[in-house]
Structure 1
């Protein structure tokens, strides 16, 4: 049971974009509360450039981060984008104030049209490789929202489409309108409520992109987790990321940070090789 397990380093996103599975989440690039610019703009631009230097080829952002700040920073730091780098962004949420309470959902075709147009302009792209619906708006019939996204894809404004914070039934409904290539739900070693969604995505060949992949920074340093991390001489954060890479081949973790030191620590998690015994031990956390 102590045999070392191998993990696939890449995933074919949408069937045509090979990306390194350990990506980067740009949610924390704006100021506190996801509001306004970062306190140190040059430092944030340097961090984003370091992301690509470390081999990251999938970066996740959204128009509500700032709002708009994250997309603008990515373009300033990285445009023209290196070959093979995929910038995925999201629309459907409107940020009007800092913090978790300063957000409204808007899944109307008019808002999504404006959101998509704005993202294209800020990212300096003619087509977004991965555009995800940030949340399903319960006030708008899902069919209207999905029909708009399918039409945007037909027009060539987006290459691939994904969803965020959805159920298996939501995915199946969206699949009646367009191929769903990614799903972004909250999930980590310490929070596995989305396991049924992950299972469905794996069966369908859909990328599963866990947000808060390290538990939102609130890692549970139980004795068991510390023991497994100690076996490999890694941090609990690195262990949590490595577990995701080993748990399912379609998982694309996107840890975010404002620190280059933490970024480099996170990226080293891709080289941690867990054993079957490690995985069995960590399964008891479920």
Structure 2
């Protein structure tokens, strides 16, 4: 396998290491990356799908997936108070009990969904609500603080400086260690950072969704803010496991995603051919190659793929040991150029 050297890893590697990782299935730790002043694993774990949204999920199996991720060196565990109407935080809290010191726990407040597992469409960035939301999250998680607390969305009716000022008060109270923003524009990031240091911004970023590269990432790098990439596998589409829209179960919100419906699905499915070819050549899965591509976009980029099964956690974790060649990185970028992808990215209604 070109460029991939099997090796047993026994400890986390510091940022800047150029070691390569083991083959699929090897249990190992992983290198760390820096989100501002916060050190986290190079790959995190997104927990959205563990309480609906992608169809029914078994709580015990999801909790086992979280613990398996931590065993593999995944430290960043990402949830939100609006996932499953709070049930997601409760599940995460149970899963990390006893291993809290090994977890960088991230959650967010300032938005609510109208239905469990749905998008955060009701925004409230007022200080009163944010204080109340944080306290509720701490209760559900069963912890006395969270390591990274995001403003879930910038509320257009509340100055971002006012919202971040409330989050700064939570830091001063010891309830929050670091502040983040989710899906924030560069102007809002700058305004927030002027009030209190912002550690990370989380937005969608993947092979087929690269809008943050033009303005968001340059602004973050200028300010020394890290980037957390949610939906790095395109809601599972980049795994190449989905063959038709009929593969989505009842209750799976992806059935209504613009890129995953009807002819758009089949057009976009054809774009996966180069990804599948590279994966086959390297003896890896398409998911691993897609994550390796994203990891290659900068050491300040930390993807948080969602997984509900331990075996998928293991597969994704192994992606951190893959070093794609510059030619492969460039080929995949062209294959998934924005003009080739059909269907809009799902956006939050405001």
* Residue 32 of structure 2: aligned partner: 10
List per-residue Cα deviations over 1:175-228 (Å, max 9, x = no partner): 111101100011111110111212322333322111110112222543322232
1:41-190 aligned within 5 A: 41-98=59-116, 100=118, 103-190=121-208
Distance 1:101 1:22 in 2: 23
**Structure 1 residue 174, shift from structure 2 partner:** 0.4
2:278 counterpart of 1:256: no
Q: Is the 8 A contact 1:130 1:160 kept in 2?
A: yes
2:36 counterpart of 1:21: no
* Residue 258 of structure 2: aligned partner: none
Q: Is the 8 A contact 1:182 1:209 kept in 2?
A: yes
Distance 1:102 1:127 in 2: 23
Distance 1:59 1:3 in 2: 30
Gaps of 5+ in 1: none
**Structure 1 residue 99, shift from structure 2 partner:** 5.3
Q: Is the 8 A contact 2:83 2:118 kept in 1?
A: no
* Residue 279 of structure 1: aligned partner: 329
2:225 counterpart of 1:206: yes
Distance 2:58 2:272 in 1: 35
Distance 2:57 2:330 in 1: 43
Please state whether the residue corresponding to 1:185 is helix, strand or coil: strand
List per-residue Cα deviations over 1:110-140 (Å, max 9, x = no partner): 1111110011122222221110111011122
Distance 2:291 2:139 in 1: 33
List per-residue Cα deviations over 1:13-35 (Å, max 9, x = no partner): 342x422111100111113469x
Over 3 Å counting, the alpha-carbon distance change for 1:148 and 1:82 in structure 2 is closer
Computed over aligned residues only, the root mean square deviation of the Cα atoms, in angstroms, reads 2.3
Distance 1:199 1:102 in 2: 26
Please state whether the residue corresponding to 1:31 is helix, strand or coil: coil
Q: Is the 8 A contact 2:82 2:116 kept in 1?
A: no
- Normalized against structure 2, the TM-score is what? 0.74
